[in-house]
Structures are given as structure tokens and as C-alpha cells.
A = this chain, B = another copy of it.
Amino acid sequence: MTYDLWYWDGIPGRGEFVRLALEAAGIPYRDRAREDDGKNHDGDSASLVEDLQRDRPHPPFAPPYLVADGMTIGQAANILLYLGEKHGLAPADLEGRLWVNQIQLTIADMVAEVHDVHHPIAAGMYYEDQKDEALRRAEDFRANRMPKFLGYFEKLIQPDGWLTAGRWTYADLSLFFLIDGLRFAFPRRMLTIAHKYPRLMALHQRVSTLPELQDYFKSDRRLPFGDGIFRHYEELDPRE
């Protein structure tokens, strides 16, 4: 009954969307690439690299993936769709279920853009080898994409503070993580524009104080940001 989560060790990354949902719902899971197997593999995710090579009827393209109920489920939004249905982390009716999935997919779109700000040419190349291009892309991201996405998310939040009135869904947790990551990667820009998104900022604050997540936040199961999808480079977030 315990689920296996597989994601790169060392960064929260897209695995964090799944981790937050599992933790907030109190679902038992093992974070497999982070388990100590007696070998020295801190952060090298050796067991994940090995597991990815296994023959499976439904192989994932990339982590994260969740092994649950005999299935291997890939793509963060797809994992959350499953967890949402099975553990009540999204509305049960068709319209609400599709709506929360839709928001999650739009969050995923922004996350892909956040990644490409520091890797606009190739994910497999060093930042230093695409820094000039990153400077250009970051400028557009700060000026155009951030307000477009954040302005959109802001207007989705209901008067009671959640995306769907009544209680948090997995998309609320994901929105919290998105804001958290943006604050880490673009602290200056976020400080400048935060006042335009009071509901988003309140949602971030509210998730950060959810009783269900306090143990997790204090634990070493939660990874700090670093050289992952959300990265901070001074030059990509200049003084304004």
C-alpha cells in the first residue's frame, strides 16, 4: 500500500508537486532515489538511473513517476490526477476534476518556461554556455510571462482563498510551490510585483502554515532549492 516515488535526488524539482500532495494527504510513500542503500550515492540518484532502465509496460519518459497499485504512473500532472481521484485531493465531480487538472497543466507550462529561462538553448548544456541567451529570455520572462501567468492564477482564486471553494486541492499545493520557486529564483522581481497578486500571496502564506504540512516542512524530506528547475542567478533577476 506504500507508494514508491521516483525523482532525482538533490533538488525538489517536479517531484515536489507529487511530494507535497502525498505529504499533505498523509499518504505513506518511499522517496526511492533518496533512500540510503548502504552505498555512497548522496545526490547521484544511482538507483533511479537503474530503475529507469527496467522493462515496463508503461515506461515513463522522465521522472517523476509513482509506482502505485501495480501501476507505474508518469508525468507530474497525471500522477496528481490519480492521487486527486483516489485520495480526494480534488473535487469528485467531472467539471471540478477537469478544472483542477487544467490549472495544474497551466502551472506545468509556467514551470517549463522557468526552466528554459536559464536553459534557453539546451537542457543538456551548462548554463554558462547559454548565458547570453538566458539574459535575453529572462528579460522577456520577467516583463511579459510572469505578469501573464501570475495575473491569470490570481483571478482564479475564490473569495475563501482556495482555487476551488471549500478546501485545498493538489493544485493549491502546486501553486504554493510555484510561488515559492519564483521567490527563490527571482526575489527582486517578486518583491516588486507581489502587491499585484494579493490572493496568490495569501494562498502561498496559507499553504505554508497548513497543519498537514508542518512536519514535512521541518523534516529533511523537504529539499532546498539549488541547481534545479528554480535557480537563482543574480544577473537573471537584476536590480530594477
**Known contacts A121-B136, A122-B140; A152/B61 CB under 8 A:** yes
**Known contacts A101-B78, A102-B75; A140/B112 CB under 8 A:** no
A135-163 with Cβ < 8 A to chain B:
136-137, 140, 144, 149, 152, 155-156
User: Does A59 sit at the interface, judged by CB under 8 A?
Assistant: yes
CA gap between A61 and B153 in the complex, in Å: 9
A17 to chain B, nearest CB (A): 13
Tell me the nearest residue of chain B to A101, going by C-beta. B78
Please state if A73 and B58 are interface contacts (CB–CB under 8 Å). no
CA gap between A75 and B125 in the complex, in Å: 30
Tell which of B77, B102, B155 touches A74, judged by Cβ atoms closer than 8 Å: B102
CA gap between A212 and B191 in the complex, in Å: 54
CA gap between A101 and B106 in the complex, in Å: 15
**Known contacts A71-B95, A133-B133; A58/B122 CB under 8 A:** no
Chain A 101-145 against B: per-residue CB contact (8 Å), 1 yes, 0 no? 110011001001000100011101100001001001100100010
Please state if B152 and A140 are interface contacts (CB–CB under 8 Å). no
User: Does A21 sit at the interface, judged by CB under 8 A?
Assistant: no
**Cβ contacts under 8 Å, A95 to chain B:** 58, 71
A223 to chain B, nearest CB (A): 23
User: Does A81 sit at the interface, judged by CB under 8 A?
Assistant: yes
**Known contacts A61-B152, A120-B121; A106/B140 CB under 8 A:** no
User: Does A92 sit at the interface, judged by CB under 8 A?
Assistant: no
Chain A 35-73 against B: per-residue CB contact (8 Å), 1 yes, 0 no? 000000000000000000000001111000000000101
Please state if A121 and B137 are interface contacts (CB–CB under 8 Å). yes
